[in-house]
Amino acid sequence: MSHRANEGVSHRVNGGVSDGCAAGRHVFTVDVEDWFQVENLKQRVSRADWESLPRRVVENTEAILRILREAGDTRATFFILGWVAEREPELVRRIAAAGHEVASHGYNHELVYEQSEAAFRADVRASRELLQRLSGQAVVGYRAPSFSITEAGLRILAEEGFVYDSSWFPAAAHDRYSRLDLSGAGVAAEGAGAVESAVAASGGGRETGGSVFRLANGLWELPLTTVDVAGSALAWSGGGYFRLIPYPLYRWGFARAARQRGAARQRETARQGGAALRDAGSCVFYLHPWEVDAGQPRVRGLRPGYRFRHYVGLARTAGRLERLVRDFAFCTARELLEAAGGVSGADEPAADAGASGDDVRGEDRG
């Protein structure tokens, strides 16, 4: 599988930077899970219900694949839930065959800070093994359910052979705290703070304006994008914000975030020379397949805030996505790290890594 830059789309505008993959691309990511596997719905949909609910993830992911294909074969990173991959293996194969990157969204969509270290390790290991077997790709990236990564989680990902994580949402503290009413406030706050201490210890995040940086344990972090407006970091990465904010305003913020990251990277390069990453401060966009599905079953009895969050703008998301992939140039997370000099062949596990399945099928997860 080729991981080189996709030259066919390099003419597109992308926040003022346009010379090739390394300098001009942003990272397009999809968290592949179904409409009922969402934190906001947890109060009404229990895990025991999952098996009996109608799955819509294949059709919805196909819709996103089609939009990407029609935009000059734009490539994206698909963080796929193991639970989905196990039931829809053909979808994983199709994503890989279309040239996209297959990465892990864990197995059972349990929040990282609600799992023991052993359970988290088993969860990510099982998902990685399954996705590698189905896709034929080395799976090197991870995104935590609801951005619930912890410092211990970052350590375990590196130990398990992951090359990068994309779960840190610098502006999500706000969002996460507002969600704490739902699920165990104290634990969440501790988890969020611990990640921030790992990030601070790496010395990377602030220097590069929230773009890609390396943690002390060698793991790369691709934070979800925020934009600085009047001194505040606002979440500007995708998801509900993408559905809610009028598209011209979203596009303005995305381009602004790209400029801010590019400027921060230039300052870093001036200081560090060749030691700095050779990217231009790419942004990370994310979406879920259910966010393009206006016809999904409505869950009754949600609190108004969660109902709004889940259902706002579903009908307009696909059209906006078509505009976004025309207005900006995207690549996969892995392509970005390779082009920016963050990942070399030496960092890359063999394509069959984990496929031997020695102790992977312990199934003591969740």
Q: Which residues bind Zn ion (CB under 5 A)?
A: 31, 33, 145
Q: Which two structure tokens, joined as six digits, stand for 183?
A: 């699920």
Give 147 or 164: the residue with its C-beta nearer to Zn ion. 147
Give 145 or 240: the residue with its C-beta nearer to Zn ion. 145
Output the CA–CA distances (angstroms, integers) from residue 183 to 38, 73, 178, 222, in the order listed: 13, 40, 10, 26
Give 31 or 335: the residue with its C-beta nearer to Zn ion. 31
CA angle 198, 204, 208 (to 5 degrees): 140
Q: Which two structure tokens, joined as six digits, stand for 133?
A: 């077997």
* Contact status, residue 182 vs residue 123, Cβ threshold 8 Å: no
DSSP conformation letters of 78-91: EEE-HHHHHH-HHH
For the bound state, the minimum distance from the C-beta of residue 178 to Zn ion, rounded and expressed in Å, comes to: 18
For the bound state, the minimum distance from the C-beta of residue 51 to Zn ion, rounded and expressed in Å, comes to: 18
DSSP run (H or E) holding 32: strand 26-32
For the bound state, the minimum distance from the C-beta of residue 55 to Zn ion, rounded and expressed in Å, comes to: 15
Contacts of 28 by beta carbon, 8 Å cutoff, 6+ apart: 68, 74, 75, 76, 77, 285, 325, 330, 331, 332
For the bound state, the minimum distance from the C-beta of residue 102 to Zn ion, rounded and expressed in Å, comes to: 15
For the bound state, the minimum distance from the C-beta of residue 231 to Zn ion, rounded and expressed in Å, comes to: 30
165 phi and psi angles, rounded to 5 deg: -120, 145
At position 34, the amino acid (one-letter code) is D
For the bound state, the minimum distance from the C-beta of residue 105 to Zn ion, rounded and expressed in Å, comes to: 6
